Homo-oligomer: A and B are copies of this chain.
């Protein structure tokens, strides 16, 4: 078996990729902007160029066993993205096939959050756990569910979209998925920014955030203001953590996980987010589950976790017969 795999994580903003060895060490990694190219073929060209450069830089040409890809809504069974709501290209995108042809290397794909869960189970905070739920708090909210030590794919490969449980049935925020009230419209980085804009308009007290142009406020701005003692910014995190904790209480009655693993930029907000989250989870969870599910942070570096998870799939990747016509319509 060749000694390396290439792990690729395709996010709404960045695509990060790295070469990983058999012991799970990231030998080298890099990234490109996902949304830079309007055509998927141009994106694939740039990624191929950059990844080839990376592979050459560590003398790994012809030493890559497989490619593993984590991407939004990517389907483990079909190798495609059928509905890439956070990506700029038309769906479906025949991801596994296109990468396998472009690189000449067997490729397997899964949901980005499933990949993160695999990485956490193999190398991180979920080592030894058989029942846990990975929640990724990034541009959106993703999830990877592990039950009996297996990632839950569902009958069609699309299970584990917990960013799209409905947390507000009435007057909920419009989501990229076309519905309203989804968890990710409140508890993602963009959700926090939306909450900031709502709070600034609905409330009147002074806030450091009022010094910023309201339309460009980010979750990082809210974090910085909160760390500087700004009460309105703190309230935004309390609101966010409470909604996430309430939603997690409903996830507990489904699969009774031993732990939730949180990952992503927002998860690094510390007690600002975690205190209201844990309080809401404990307050809202059914009594037989009280005090059981732990809420823990990812133990992997943010970029590495996704690369490692995706790369784990690379070891399983198998050559597939080419449905040439399908690829031709996209490239």
Interface, chain A (partner B; CB < 8 A): 73, 82-83, 129-131, 145, 147-148, 150, 152-162, 164-167, 169, 177-179, 246, 249-251, 253-258, 284, 286-289, 292
Contacts and interface: CB of A to CB of B under 8 A. Distances in A.
B83 A158 contact: no
B256 A154 contact: yes
Given A154-B256, A178-B287, 7 more contacts: A83-B287, A155-B256, A155-B292, A156-B289, A157-B256, A164-B253, A165-B250
A250 B177 CA distance: 14
B83 A255 contact: no
So how many copies of this chain end up in the complex?
2
Contacts of A258: 155-156
Contacts of A178: 287
A254 B161 CA distance: 6
Most buried by B among A148, A249, A258: A148
B179 A155 contact: no
Nearest to A166: B250
Contacts of A155: 129-131, 256-258, 292
Given A130-B155, A169-B246, A179 B284 contact: yes
A157 B222 CA distance: 40
A288 B77 CA distance: 14
Contacts of A154: 131, 147, 255-257
Contacts of A255: 145, 152, 154, 159-160, 254
Minimum-distance CB pairs A-B, first 8: A154-B256, A159-B256, A155-B258, A161-B253, A131-B155, A83-B288, A165-B250, A159-B255
19 contacts: A130-B155, A131-B159, A145-B255, A152-B255, A153-B256, A154-B256, A155-B256, A156-B292, A159-B253, A159-B255, A159-B256, A160-B253, A160-B254, A166-B284, A167-B169, A169-B246, A179-B284, A179-B286, A254-B255
A38 to B, nearest CB: 22
Contact of A286 (B152, B177, B257, B286): B177
Nearest to A251: B254
Contacts of A148: 148, 150, 152
Contacts of A177: 286-287
Most buried by B among A145, A156, A249: A156
A298 B164 CA distance: 29
Contact of A158 (B153, B164, B179, B288): B288
Contacts of A165: 250, 253-254
A296 to B, nearest CB: 14
